[in-house]
Every structure is written in C-alpha cells, then in structure tokens.
Amino acid sequence: MKEFNEKHIETLFQKVYSNSATESEIREYYSMLSDERTCSFIAELMQSALRDSINIEKDYDRRKAVFERIKGVDIWSNKRARNHRIYRFSFAAASAVVLFGLFFWKGQLRYSPNDRQLPGLQSANSDVKAGVEAAILTVDNGFQIDLAENTSGNFGLHSGTEIKANGDGELVYSYSGRGYHGSQHHSIRTKNGQHYKLRLPDGTKLWMNAGSEVRFLPTLVEGNTRKIFLSGEAYFEVAKDSKSPFVVETNLQSIYVLGTHFNVSAYPDDRKVTTSLLEGKVKISAHGNQYVLIPGQKVISTSTETVLSKTKAEDAVDWQQGEFVLNGIKLSEALKKIARWYDVDVVYLEKGDDQILYGGWISNKQPLSVILKAIEDLGSVRFSLEGRQVIVNNPNR
C-alpha cells in the first residue's frame, strides 16, 4: 500500500463522493481501505460531509447513485485478491464511505422495515419495539414502586428524603434536611428493554441504561463522600461539591469525582468495567493503582488488568443520546447492546470471525428490524427475527 497521504486520500474521497471518480480511481480508493488508519480518516471525512449537507433527501439520492455505480466496478482484478481476508475487511470498511452515508443519518433513517422485511418477521406489528422509560424503585423495608405504572406523583418521605416522579421519565430525590443515620440503601433497577433518568439529592443527574441497577443511601452521603453503587451502565452529570467528593463503586473500579460528565459501563456479563470521560476530571482506583482521566480518555478494568487509553468519549453515551453508534465496534458488542435495549436473545447459528462494523449513527427509537437491516448492509452478516430471538446467520461470509 502507498504511504498514508491525507491530501491524496481526501481528493479521492471527494471524487468518489461526488460520483466523478474514474474506474481506476475507484479501484485505487478501495485498495486503500485495507488500512485501518485510512478507514478511520475516511470515516471522519464522511461524517463531515454528512454534517455539511443541506438537502438531506437530495444528498441521499445522489449517494445512492454513487453506490449503484461502484457496484458495477470490478474493484479487484484477480481472483486471489477476492478470496483474501482483506477483501471482506475492505467491504466492511467500504460502509464507512458509502453505506455509512447511504443508510445512516444522525437521528434519521432512510428506509422502512416494511420495505425490507427480515426472515421470520410476519408483519410490522410483530416487530420488536425500542426500549421504554421504566424502572423498579425499592425503598425502606423492601417496599417497591413500579415507575412504569406510576409515571408521576409524589411518593412521600422515605428516610427523610422526598421522592417524586415528574412525569417526564425522571425520578427526583430531595433531601428534607432531617437527620438520617440509617444504613438501608434505596435501589433503582431497569430490566432489559428499559431505561430511566434520576436526579439525586445533591442535584447530580444520571441516566440508567437497560439492565442496570444503582444503590445509594437516601441522603446519598456516606461519611464524607457522596456514594453510589452501580451494576450495568449509567451516564453521570455530577453536581459540584468540593467538600464532598462523588464516588461510583463498581465491582472492578472506584471512581472519584468532584463535578464532571462521564459514562460507566459495568455489566457483569461483560466481565469488565469501562469508564469514559467527557468533561472534567476523574480519578479511578483499580487493582491497587490510581488513574487520572482527562476528557477523551477511558479506563478498562478486567479481573486481571486495567488499561488507560484514548477514546471518542461521545460514542460511549450513544444510548443516552438516543442512538446506537455502529462504527469501529465488534459485531458481538453491538448485538449485546442491542439485545439489552430491545430485551431480546441473540442466537448464533455458526461461529465466525467477529467482524468490525464501519457505519455511523442510527436512532435507537427505531423498531428492531430496522436496526438489524442496517447492520446487514454494513457487512456480510444476515439476521432473522423469530419472536424475541435474533438469529445470526453466516457471520463474516
């Protein structure tokens, strides 16, 4: 492959994107897609082009014409190249420049599930709908409140703290100022297919993803800290309080903050905890070591090690923004997120390489069949939908 040259790559991208590239330029362009660095750079170019587009519908039609023309070009001239693994990787990467723009638009979608029906899906009415705002609140002495049925109202004082649902999918805790010295925690739990928003007594906001649970004292304060225990995933916007640090405890990490925005994913079946920082600064304690994060960094802890690395932190909060980000993510990881959001089971008929998806954003308010069809268009995987089971066929063929 030629040396990485941003200017040359951008020139070829603009020609392909504008449908003015020659067949030889198209072949050269696709030959570069076996390089991960180039794919990442082209994905950024596509995102910029999508953001700058003024007429969405007109631009979609133009990109569709580009795609139809590229399909008619013999990108590789020999059989050996076609059979090489790079061939499969390159077509997955091609999604970053064509299908990414063709099928994904932030907050919007270009096709209907009725037009592209999955095998096993009898009708749109049998499709699986997106997750809902719901949770179970457990307070003093194990008393439970179903927040799906009680969407608004004041639930009264519990251990000196007033609790109410504001009717907008948010539960609000307000400490009355009365002393509370007990040790009984309140908990809020979302099942798969549910999500919920919470405002803590100190003003901290958190968004709970599907299949998650948080526990805390009604006052939030334990000793000199504000402390919350998390299993699953949550996005935090922590209220500043220099006298009382905010601590999130998970099974593998302790996260210390004063006031900041961050996401923590701590699902037990993932066997790891990932903290991604969007704003401010956090200190993480894991495996006897401490790590200080700045925006754009993440820390991943497993049972054996902890690793600090760079990240696109906004991708970690796709769910909180009402989207799935399907770019640079393994198929298995994407399906795990989708399974939790839609409360479905994923069944693999065959084992195959865990391909990387190179796509964009798609609204997580869409029916499940729409999400699965979009993923199909990003790679070689095929799905069928049987009730609440997603059947994965021939991954990576």
CATH topology match: 109-128+321-393 vs 132-316:
no
**pLDDT band for position 279 (cuts 50, 70, 90):** very high
Q: Which residue has the higher pLDDT, 83 or 50?
A: 50
* Lowest-pLDDT choice from 22-31, 218-227, 235-244, 320-329: 22-31
Looking at residue 54, its pLDDT comes to 45
* pTM for the full predicted model: 0.73
| ∠ Cα 113 117 118 (to 5°) | 115
Return the CATH class of domain 132-316: mainly beta
For residue 88, pLDDT beyond 80: no
Q: Domain 109-128+321-393: which CATH class?
A: alpha beta
pLDDT at residue 16 in the model:
80
What's the whole-number mean pLDDT along residues 305-332?
A: 88
161-192 pLDDT, tens digit per residue, is 889 998 888 999 987 665 555 678 899 999 99
List the Cα angle 54/58/59 in 5-degree steps: 65
pLDDT 10s digits, 136-168: 999 877 889 999 999 888 887 776 788 999 888
Q: How far apart are CA 12 and CA 10, in angstroms?
A: 5
Task: Enumerate residues 6+ apart whose C-beta is below 8 A from 280.
Answer: 238, 257, 258, 259, 260, 261, 262, 295
**Mean pLDDT across the stretch 5-21?**
84
Q: Where are the domains positioned within the chain? A: 6-101, 109-128+321-393, 132-316
- pLDDT: which is higher, 365 or 359: 365
User: Percent of the chain scored above 70 by pLDDT?
Assistant: 73
Q: Which amino acid is at 180?
A: Y
> How much of the chain, in percent, has pLDDT values that exceed 90?
39
Tokens at residue 292, please? 């200080």
Mean pLDDT to the nearest integer, 199-218: 95
| Structure confidence by residue, pLDDT tens digits, 51-65 | 555 444 455 555 556
